[in-house]
Amino acid sequence: MKFARAAMAAGLLAACASQTASAATGNVLFNGTITATCTITINSNGTMTVSSNLQSLSSHNAGGSAGSAQVDTTGGVSLSVDPVTTTTVPASDTTATTWTPTFATSGAQTIAETGTATALTVPGTSTVAVNLAGTKSGTNRFSAGNYQATVTLRCE
Amino acid sequence: MLAAGLIAALSPIAATGQSMTPMRGEVRSFTDAFAVRVFPGNPYNQRIRVEVHVYDQDFQPVAARITPSAFLLAGQASRPVLVVVPFDGANERKVRICTESIPFPSEQTQIRAQICGKFFGHRRF
């Protein structure tokens, strides 16, 4: 009887030993979708100064400075500036002024100074210089007082 | 009432530091309006005032229901804004939803940051 049990156990062990452990493998997939994003951070506003002939009030003039903004984007967006509609001028200035906003970028993507919408195709951080120029024609001149204008920088 | 009949096909994840997300979307609706939920974000460290506006393709204002349309947003924060756009009898409508903020007032040349998303609503019967 003992012999039979031992023989049976040995047989089972031998049967198990001949079996190899089967390892299954599987792939786990990861998907991610990044949609277009854009963040504008205004670093500083601009300053305009008047030209010697008093017909230009611009951030390009001597002593003036461009506004600065930082744009972080995934690409696939466009950058533009709107025509200036909101201005404050001194009461003594009663003549028409033509306002021209422009922008240029450096950093992740370089865009030469322009006033038209431009695609941002390169992902990363770009620094935007925003300029504004007001001009008067004919005999019209800028007068003493405070001027203020708002430029809309749009990322869409 | 209206919101119950809308299908909001967009379910973005709010992300800190984004000025607005998502910036693209396509929505199908079985009612006379479609809804989009956007997440304006404040990338600054200080609180700013944020306004949300809806424009058509020619940047003319659209009479959409925006909840809330103007609010103060803490630094590095974002919050959901629900925009319900009427089809106005059309079967589809393209709109821009724009987030605007002016963080630095009282200087000579102010820069207004505007982030606009483009959204396409389809009406299904």
Quick count: other Cβ atoms within 10 Å of Cβ B103? 19
What is the total count of domains within chain B? Answer: 1
Q: How confident is the model at residue B1 (pLDDT cuts 50, 70, 90)?
A: very low
Angstrom CA distances, A128 to A108, A134, B41, stand at: 11, 20, 20
**Poorest-pLDDT segment among A13-17, B50-54, B98-102:** A13-17
pLDDT recorded at residue B17: 37
Average pLDDT rounded to a whole number, residues B33-56: 92
- Provide the pLDDT confidence category of residue B6 given band limits of 50, 70 and 90: very low
Q: Is residue B42 within 8 angstroms of chain A, CB to CB? A: no
Using the beta-carbon criterion (under 8 Å), do B109 and A46 form an inter-chain contact? yes
pLDDT value for A23: 82
pLDDT band at B62 (very low <50, low <70, confident <90, very high): very high
Q: Which residue has the tokens 């009479």?
A: B63
Size of interface A-B (CB pairs under 8 A): 104
Strands B65-67 and B109-123: unpaired
Query: What average pLDDT does this structure show over B72-89?
Result: 94
- What tens-digit pLDDT sequence spans chain A (156 residues)? 555 566 565 555 555 555 566 788 999 999 998 888 999 998 888 999 999 999 999 999 999 999 999 999 999 999 999 999 889 999 999 999 999 999 999 999 999 999 999 999 999 999 999 999 999 999 999 999 999 999 999 999
pLDDT bin (cut points 50, 70, 90) of residue B3 is: very low
CA–CA dist B113, B118 (Å, integer): 17
Contact (CB<8Å) A155/B114: yes
Lowest model confidence (mean pLDDT) among B48-57, B72-81, B106-115: B106-115
Within 8 A by CB and 6+ apart from B120, the residues are: B25, B26, B27, B92, B93, B94
Q: What tokens appear for B44 in the block?
A: 């600054």
Q: What pLDDT is attached to residue B93?
A: 96
Task: Report the CATH number at residue B110.
Answer: 2.60.40.10
**Which range of residues forms the domain containing residue B60?**
3-123
Structure tokens at B36: 């989009």
Range of weakest confidence among A91-95, B62-66, B73-77: B73-77
According to the model, what pLDDT value does residue A125 have?
96
Q: Which CATH number is associated with domain A38-155?
A: 2.60.40
Selecting from A35, A38, A149 the residue whose C-beta is nearest the C-beta of B109 gives A149
The minimal CB distance from B43 to the residues A41, A77, A82 is found for A41
Interface contact B24-A35, CB threshold 8 A: yes
Q: Specify the 3-state DSSP secondary structure of B47.
A: coil
As given in the structure block, the two tokens for residue A137 are: 């024609």
CA distance A25 to A70: 47
Beta strands in A11-110 (DSSP E): 38-44, 49-50, 56-58, 67-73, 77-81, 87-88, 98-107
pLDDT at B46: 85
Contacts with A148 from chain B: Cβ below 8 Å: 107-110
Contact predicate B12/B23, CB 8 Å: no
